[in-house]
Structure 1
Amino acid sequence: MGKCNCFDETLEAMKAHIIEKLPEGVVDFEASWEGHSFILSDRDHVPVNPQINYTYRKIKKDKTPAANLSKGQVKVFCSYCPFCGREIGEDSK
């Protein structure tokens, strides 16, 4: 199976759907995937990788919870297209 265009096709479909819902006469509309990956290789890859955001509250030295939350994130590198299920190959050939 060749390389899929699922992300491009989905983004274009979503742009069209969003534009329909916006007030008439809107200008300078842009939409893009969050978490876009730029990979310096010719290997086949999913262009957008989901991100999991998390928060937690640290415990201070006096054993009480800190006032502020700490934040972190983990990006998930896909080995399958989440739209069509195509397995990502070793290279783009």
Structure 2
Amino acid sequence: MSDISIPTADNPRNENIERIFEDMRAGLPENLNKEIYFIPDRREAIQKACTIATSGDYIVLTGKGHEKYQIIQGVKHSFSDLEELQKYFTER
């Protein structure tokens, strides 16, 4: 089980990501003792995960896998989780 979760977009297509987040929040138990950051922009979510991770932590990115794009409002955008991770740690 994770101590921190960062839900984010994964090909939301024409769906409203904030509505998806509302549905997710509604299903959370009130006494949940975990940090959750709802970040719609996947790039920002990856950067947040990298920023708050400390020595010995694991970052688990799920959803995109081999895909190198995001579909947002019907538009296909170039995007790679791996490239974002590499960029973050290279620029650091």
TM value normalised by structure 2: 0.29
Using structure 1 for the length normalisation, give the TM-score: 0.29
Higher relative contact order (CA 8 A, sep 6+): 2
Larger helix percent: 2
